């Protein structure tokens, strides 16, 4: 299937969860909007998850934030250093609203491992994002008798290095995707999995770092946002 183009739809699922600690407990107030967007808000933590448009949908001359992109990917040849020549932007990131309190933020990543198995590749994840749990949300603790994080897989929960302030934005988890040149050897009916990204936040006050904040947040949100 030499150089045959194929539309690859990689969906940013806009499933968001926010929680804050009150004393030694967590209080939850939830609300659901549409099938593709579940927003859970507690107190004054307000977050959203985006990526940058690859097509100027508003025709305003700007590539603004969006919640989904469709990609036309061509099997990529490589330059002399082995880098892909044909890439497209994909850069999931989290923002806090103008009325939000400072918060630690987390991103659940699913489908990236399956996508790479189908030869849709990503660049390296940004160093400000650290994998803190597996895709089931279970916390990594090297000193306890619990499952450890599988660093060989990209799917999982990632913690941002520092707390965000109102109107703050994280660095993008990664910045680009491409179709590996080996795709040319696959059949024309090859199917593609979806990459999905979910955001979570917890009030920064009362927590020393992102690890402590995630321990308070727990892993139940991972199941909740995917329902």
User: In terms of C-beta density within 10 A (0-12 exposed, 13-18 middle, 19 or more buried), how is residue 94 classed?
Assistant: buried
Among 55-59, 61-65, 69-73, 164-168, the range scoring the smallest mean pLDDT is: 55-59
Give every CB contact of residue 62 below 8 A, 6+ residues apart in sequence.
Answer: 56
Number of residues in the chain: 227
CA end-to-end span of the chain, whole Å? 37
Residue 7: band (very low, low, confident or very high) from pLDDT cuts 50, 70, 90 = very low
Q: What are the tens digits of pLDDT across the range 173-216?
A: 999 988 887 776 655 555 667 888 888 888 888 889 998 888 88
Instruction: Evaluate whether 107 touches 94 at the Cβ level (below 8 Å).
Output: yes
Task: Write down the mean pLDDT value for the chain.
Answer: 73
pLDDT at residue 85 in the model: 76
Classify the C-alpha dihedral 109-114-116-120 as positive or negative.
Answer: negative
Kindly give the pairing relationship between strand 196-203 and strand 15-22.
parallel
């Amino acid at each position: 299937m030499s150089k045959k183009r194929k539309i690859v739809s990689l969906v940013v699922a806009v499933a968001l969860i926010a929680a804050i600690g009150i004393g030694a407990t967590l209080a939850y107030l939830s609300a659901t909007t549409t099938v593709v967007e579940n927003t859970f808000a507690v107190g004054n933590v307000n977050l959203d998850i985006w990526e940058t448009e690859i097509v100027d949908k508003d025709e305003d001359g700007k590539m603004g934030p969006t919640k989904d992109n469709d990609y036309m990917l061509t099997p990529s040849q490589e330059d002399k250093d082995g880098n892909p020549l044909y890439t497209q932007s994909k850069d999931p990131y989290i923002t806090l609203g103008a009325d939000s309190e400072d918060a630690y933020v987390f991103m659940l990543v699913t489908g990236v491992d399956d996508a790479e198995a189908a030869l849709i590749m990503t660049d390296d994840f940004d160093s400000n994002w650290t994998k803190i749990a597996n895709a089931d949300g279970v916390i990594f603790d090297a000193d306890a008798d619990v499952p450890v994080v599988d660093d060989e897989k990209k799917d999982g929960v990632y913690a941002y290095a520092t707390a965000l302030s109102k109107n703050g934005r994280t660095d993008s988890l990664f910045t680009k995707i491409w179709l590996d040149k080996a795709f040319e050897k696959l059949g024309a009916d090859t199917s593609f999995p979806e990459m999905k990204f979910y955001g979570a936040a917890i009030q920064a006050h009362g927590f020393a770092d992102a690890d402590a904040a995630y321990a308070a947040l727990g892993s139940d949100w991972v199941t909740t946002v995917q329902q």
